[in-house]
């Protein structure tokens, strides 16, 4: 796919000088929307999964899993794994098995402790009433390291029933992302039981870990498999700038830390041994977000959505930028961007499309909340 330079993108920004009132109708370029708070009092909520009965499972980073119904009533689910809570670490992603209605399997990612170090881990349990039972680790990354940064931890199901899982570079040694003998800085592809699919790209590659699907990924925190095209889209944190939207394909190298448009936090110098912006053996981002979006959470608006003018668009959450970035495509190329709810509800951690067709987000604060965004077609 041809990369679109930032200068070619038309960016529409909508600001408000006052706090957003619950249930307030807002105008965007093409679509009036209503933003409603569904539940509050959530401590750094991280991820949303939708249950068949219309309720949601929502993780909180300190280690809590909640069932929240449409009216905002919260029930704590017991039986979650023991997590190491520090900075970005804790209880992170939650997704349901595609056959959840039959097997009741819930998948969680978390920062697993081992002494003073941690690793990104994948656990699975069966939801029985208000409890997770038969909880087990399905996968733990190969190396434990200092806690607190770049766990990645997004999950997405492939059409063939395999599971994608991101792991960040863990912060202190960025070059791990280029090492095929290390899970850090990678997108993995696993079986539903945490095993290795036999058609993964590095299964027969000497010295490579067979779970690896892509590499050179600094810290993927938005991940979807497009329901129509089957393409894998990911949003990835850069350092100071250099956030990316990437189209991920098996076996590809996405450059970190050899190639980046961001700056080193400590030195404020360019990353890369020669401050390069591209490399013939590495895939360039579809979009480079500099200055940073602080991307987290990613969703695609369905083709039959009541958000009529947004159909097929990507919605990327932003943490520090406190927004949802709508990315519109023309002939498969991102052509236009719009900032939604910027500065209105806080740091956007996760973005999901609910079974009712509405957009759901959680905000990453010590007193975070779950919001519903619905179209107002008038």
* Burial of 260 (C-beta count, 10 Å sphere; 0-12/13-18/19+): buried
Residue-range domain boundaries for the chain: 6-376
CATH class in words for 6-376: mainly beta
* 16 has pLDDT over 90: no
- Strands 10-12 and 333-340: what pairing? parallel
From CA 348, how far away is CA 342, in angstroms rounded? 10
150 assigned to active site: yes
CA distances from residue 351 to 128, 193, 304, 330 in whole angstroms, order as listed: 26, 26, 18, 22
pTM for the model stands at: 0.93
* 314 has pLDDT over 80: yes
From CA 251, how far away is CA 93, in angstroms rounded? 24
What are 230-235's contacts with CB under 8 Å, separation 24+?
230/158, 230/159, 232/156, 232/164, 232/187, 233/298, 233/300, 233/314, 234/154, 234/166, 234/187, 234/298, 235/293, 235/295, 235/296, 235/297, 235/298, 235/316
**Catalytic residue, candidates 44, 84, 97, 150:** 150
pLDDT score, position 377 = 79
Give the model confidence (pLDDT) of 135-183 as tens digits. 999 999 999 999 999 999 999 999 999 999 999 999 999 999 999 999 9
Angle at 78 between CA 77 and CA 81, to 5 degrees: 115
Tell me the two tokens of residue 223.
Answer: 């991940």
From CA 28, how far away is CA 315, in angstroms rounded? 14
* 20 has pLDDT over 80: no
Average pLDDT on 325-338 reads 95
**Average pLDDT, whole number, for the chain?**
92
* 1 has pLDDT over 50: no
Q: Return the H-helix or E-strand segment holding 273.
A: none
pLDDT score, position 274 = 53
Average pLDDT on 290-304 reads 96
Give the model confidence (pLDDT) of 80-133 as tens digits. 999 999 999 999 999 999 999 999 999 999 999 999 999 999 999 999 999 999
* 318 has pLDDT over 80: yes
Q: Provide the pLDDT confidence category of residue 21 given band limits of 50, 70 and 90.
A: low
Give the model confidence (pLDDT) of 131-142 as tens digits. 999 999 999 999
pLDDT score, position 342 = 96
Task: Scan for tokens 């063939």, then name that residue.
Answer: 160
Sign of CA dihedral 131, 135, 138, 140: positive
* 13 has pLDDT over 60: no
């Amino acid at each position: 796919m041809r990369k679109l330079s930032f200068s070619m993108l038309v960016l529409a920004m909508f600001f408000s000088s006052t706090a957003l009132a619950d249930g307030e109708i807002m105008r965007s370029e093409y679509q009036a929307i209503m933003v409603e708070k569904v539940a509050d009092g959530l401590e750094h909520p991280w991820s949303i999964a939708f249950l068949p009965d219309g309720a949601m499972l929502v993780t909180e980073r300190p280690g809590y899993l909640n069932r929240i119904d449409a009216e905002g009533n919260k029930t704590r689910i017991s039986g979650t794994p023991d997590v190491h809570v520090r900075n970005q670490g804790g209880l992170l992603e939650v997704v349901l098995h595609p056959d959840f209605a039959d097997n009741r399997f819930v998948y969680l990612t978390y920062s697993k402790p081992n002494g003073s170090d941690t690793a990104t881990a994948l656990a699975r349990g069966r939801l029985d009433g208000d409890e997770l039972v038969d909880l087990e680790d399905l996968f733990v990354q190969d190396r434990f390291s200092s806690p607190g940064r770049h766990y990645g931890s997004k999950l997405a199901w492939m059409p063939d029933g395999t599971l994608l899982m991101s792991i960040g570079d863990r912060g202190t040694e960025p070059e791990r992302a280029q090492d095929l003998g290390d899970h850090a800085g990678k997108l993995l592809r696993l079986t539903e039981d945490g095993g290795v699919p036999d058609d993964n790209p590095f299964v027969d590659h000497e010295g490579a870990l067979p779970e690896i699907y892509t590499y050179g990924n600094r810290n993927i925190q938005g991940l979807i498999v497009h329901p129509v095209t089957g393409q894998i889209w990911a949003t990835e944190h850069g350092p100071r700038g250099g956030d990316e939207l990437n189209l991920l394909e098996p076996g590809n190298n996405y450059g970190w830390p050899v190639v980046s448009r961001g700056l080193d936090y400590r030195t404020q110098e360019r990353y890369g041994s020669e401050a390069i912006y591209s490399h013939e053996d590495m895939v360039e981002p579809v979009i480079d977000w500099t200055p940073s979006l602080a991307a987290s959470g990613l969703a695609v608006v369905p083709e039959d959505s009541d958000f009529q003018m947004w159909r097929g668009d990507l919605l990327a959450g932003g943490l520090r930028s406190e927004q949802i970035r709508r990315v519109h495509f023309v002939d498969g190329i991102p052509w236009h961007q719009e900032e939604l709810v910027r500065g209105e509800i806080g740091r956007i951690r996760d973005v999901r499309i609910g079974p009712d067709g509405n957009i759901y987000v959680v905000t990453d604060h010590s007193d975070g909340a779950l919001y519903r965004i619905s179209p107002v077609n008038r």
